[in-house]
Amino acid sequence: MSTQEKLQQFFEPMSLYKKEASSLFASLSLPAFIRDYIVKKYANQDGTYDINLIAEKVKELIPDKTSWPLLLDEIILNSGTITFLAKLKININLTEGYVSFAMPDLDVDFDSTVVSDFAWEKIKEEKVSLDSEFWGVVTLNKMEYVQGKKTLRKINLKKFTAFKPYRLDANYFCNIRKEFSIEEWIELVLGAMDYNASSFADEEERLTMISRLLPFAQKRLNLIELAPKGTGKSYVFSRLSKYVWLNSGGVMTRAKLFYDMRYHMVGLIGNYDVVALDEIKTIRFPDMNEMQGALKGYLENGEFAVGTKKTIADAGMVFLGNIKEADMDTNVDMFSELPMIFRDSALLDRIHGFIRGWDIPRMSESMKVTGLSLNSEYFTEMLHLFRNDSVYDHLVDELLEEVDGDTRDISAVKRIATAYLKILFPHYRKVSDVDLDLFDKYCLSRAIRMRQDIKNQLCLLDSEFKKVKMPEFKLKGRN
């Protein structure tokens, strides 16, 4: 039975044909998890769908700028109530004491809106950051109030429902994984990421692409990737999961990343599973020393303190940058062109692993998924669920012999190996389930290499690290 046939048999409700819809949604700049939700919702019983129907439903569910004036007319002039799927941003007006919202895709600004107490309670449950955008089902109506001699009208967010379309069954997911070989499962995972497994030259390319998902599944896993341009870094970290935030270059402040004292709001770190900083060659920090200190503290133990506010979070951090072909060698200084904040050995030591982005091919049309694929929304929801499952962490501890060496090295390897385990072998729940050869090849050995690459760079930055050898990891029951 082929991977496609197994998908149809075991994951029929959670799979779909993505190819035709991808071009439609790409033109709308909508993420994969929204695309998959809408396509699946309106697919035929055999999994096919009418692309024209999908286009119409998109207009109904997610209005664009051209249709917004009619909806506004319904709200303000006809005192109607409308409900649709939207991307929001929140603002707290401290001067006047109310909460407002913006819908950037519709050019709706904070000045023309207000958030009801009921909707605000629901939004707070999602722990959103003032600097982040988030998806949800919104119900809007008109709010009128008198100010002086004038009657003012605003768009009121009456109700808000978080975008969570799936009920997840981890036991089912893990049991069905047993029906797939590792090669088939890798094909399935790449399909969930919107990629065609057959378009990659070899398994190394496939696994390097999948390594971008590691922090999606493991709490506080910190990675750095240097890759040539056009290898799809931005897509993976901006389109696949609503639990991941990508910041592309520009200015990054401590308030935005960690905690905003002015608004008393936790930043990006407290609101996402993964925060990825792209274009790290050009990113600017208004106070580099302040940010460097905050990053060191957070990358070490997940804590950050701003003023008297001390908070713990579990987001992983990913640092992304481009690299020239001549510098694609982990045994030479690859960070020479990076800002000084990333050339600090104490900070780099707190980054768990390195992704060799040059092992991922440049994106092309042939790499786009074809045929039946696992729903991106469903798959990334499963990875989000596994973040809270400590069984895998304990299993890795049970599989490894006691090892002596640098604590950060040991922790890094275990974290990365556990993340690979969750993604590639979620059905391994106890020692007797584990194929040691497969675990060694696809989890442990890759984790060791990713950490070794960081170690090599540390030795080039700081001679003190040459004295600290990489620990030797052994599996129990192996000679």
Which of 363, 393, 418 is the last residue before a domain boundary? 363
Cβ distance 372 to 7 under 8 Å? yes
Domain-embedded: residue 51: no
Domain-embedded: residue 448: no
Domain-embedded: residue 460: no
For residues 222 and 331, membership in a common domain is answered with yes
State residue 145's pLDDT score. 78
Domain-embedded: residue 147: yes
For residues 333 and 229, membership in a common domain is answered with yes
Domain-embedded: residue 349: yes
Does the structure show a pLDDT above 90 at 174?
yes
For residues 138 and 264, membership in a common domain is answered with no
Per-residue pLDDT reduced to its tens digit, 188-228 = 999 999 999 999 999 999 999 999 999 999 999 999 999 99
Positive or negative, the Cα torsion across 237, 240, 244, 247? Answer: positive
For residues 262 and 150, membership in a common domain is answered with no
Q: Could you tell me the CATH number of the domain that includes residue 350?
A: 3.40.50.300
Which of 318, 342, 363 is the last residue before a domain boundary? 363
Q: Could you tell me the CATH number of the domain that includes residue 105?
A: 2.40.50
Return left, alpha or beta for 290; rule: phi > 0 is left, psi -120 to 50 is alpha, else beta: alpha
Higher-pLDDT residue of 216 and 327 is 216
Q: What percent of the chain has pLDDT over 70?
A: 96
For residues 157 and 226, membership in a common domain is answered with no
State residue 209's pLDDT score. 98
For residues 226 and 133, membership in a common domain is answered with no
User: Sheet of 223-227: strands edge to edge?
Assistant: 244-248, 274-278, 316-322, 223-227, 353-356
Domain residue limits at 244: 215-363
For residues 307 and 229, membership in a common domain is answered with yes
Which of 121, 137, 162 is the last residue before a domain boundary? 162
Domain-embedded: residue 459: no
Per-residue pLDDT reduced to its tens digit, 371-419 = 889 989 899 999 999 999 999 999 999 999 998 999 999 999 999 999 9
pLDDT, average across residues 318-346: 91
Per-residue pLDDT reduced to its tens digit, 66-97 = 889 999 999 988 889 999 999 999 999 888 88
Cβ distance 104 to 65 under 8 Å? no
For residues 335 and 228, membership in a common domain is answered with yes
* Domain count along the chain: 2
Give the pLDDT band of residue 332 (cuts 50, 70, 90).
Answer: very high
Higher-pLDDT residue of 479 and 470 is 470
For residues 155 and 219, membership in a common domain is answered with no
For residues 219 and 358, membership in a common domain is answered with yes
Give the pLDDT band of residue 23 (cuts 50, 70, 90).
Answer: low
Domain-embedded: residue 359: yes
